[in-house]
Amino acid sequence: MTQTDLDRLLVRIRACRACAACLPLGPRPILQAGAGARLLIVGQAPGRKAHADGIPWNDASGERLRAWLGIDADTFHDPGRLAIVPVGFCYPGRGGGGDRPPRPECAPLWFAALRAQLPRIELTLAIGRYAQRHVLGVARQASLTATVRAWRDYGPHVLPLPHPSPRNTPWLQRQPWFAAELLPVLRARVRAVVATTARPRRNA
């Protein structure tokens, strides 16, 4: 099988050691991408469980996210259908009250080059404030809540979402409009995009 530009780029990313000295568990870049993917999930950084098993969103946050999207785990982890590209590729370690922010080195080094190898993306989900800062830039609002609430302003190709961590359950309870207004639109858009994506798996 001929190695593609995306294959070569993924090899380079997974060998990256740019911020190794700052990572308490060492580098282990975790992402998935296939050239045919039409749905892109931009998250923040892998958690400790993902670092251990090498599978993105393979935890309680991932279960909630898949429920939001209305897709099963096999579809979610199929790189031919769905690309997962966090702002930081490696687990950043624990800080006060939760995981540390994504390392700042990743996105400038890799994101643009990787996005250029995903020409069929139709919908990008920006999950959490770090992802929204990267994807939306100055178009984001002053807070995550305001940004997510303004989801209609970002057109049909980008949707900002809160992080699906169980720690955010109180936020979800205080924002009933999220489940009532945004989730049905999210599921419909994901269903339309995933349904038109080719099945072959590659570049996991």
Query: Picking from 95-104, 117-126, 133-142, which range would have the lowest pLDDT averaged per residue?
Result: 95-104
CA-CA distance, 163 to 39, in Å (whole number)? 17
| This model's pTM is above 0.85 | yes
Q: What is the mean pLDDT of residues 122-137?
A: 97
Number of H helices, E strands in the chain: 11, 6
Q: What is the CATH number of the domain that holds 38?
A: 3.40.470.10
Residue 40 resides in a domain:
yes
pLDDT digit string (tens) for 7-45? 999 999 999 999 999 999 999 999 999 999 999 999 999
CA-CA distance, 47 to 30, in Å (whole number)? 10
CA-CA distance, 85 to 107, in Å (whole number)? 10
pLDDT at 198: 47
Q: What is the mean pLDDT of residues 125-151?
A: 97
Query: Residue 182, SS3?
Result: helix
Residue 203 resides in a domain:
no
Residue 127 resides in a domain:
yes
> Which DSSP state fits 87?
S
pLDDT at 25: 96
Residue 71 resides in a domain:
yes
Domain that holds residue 60: 5-195
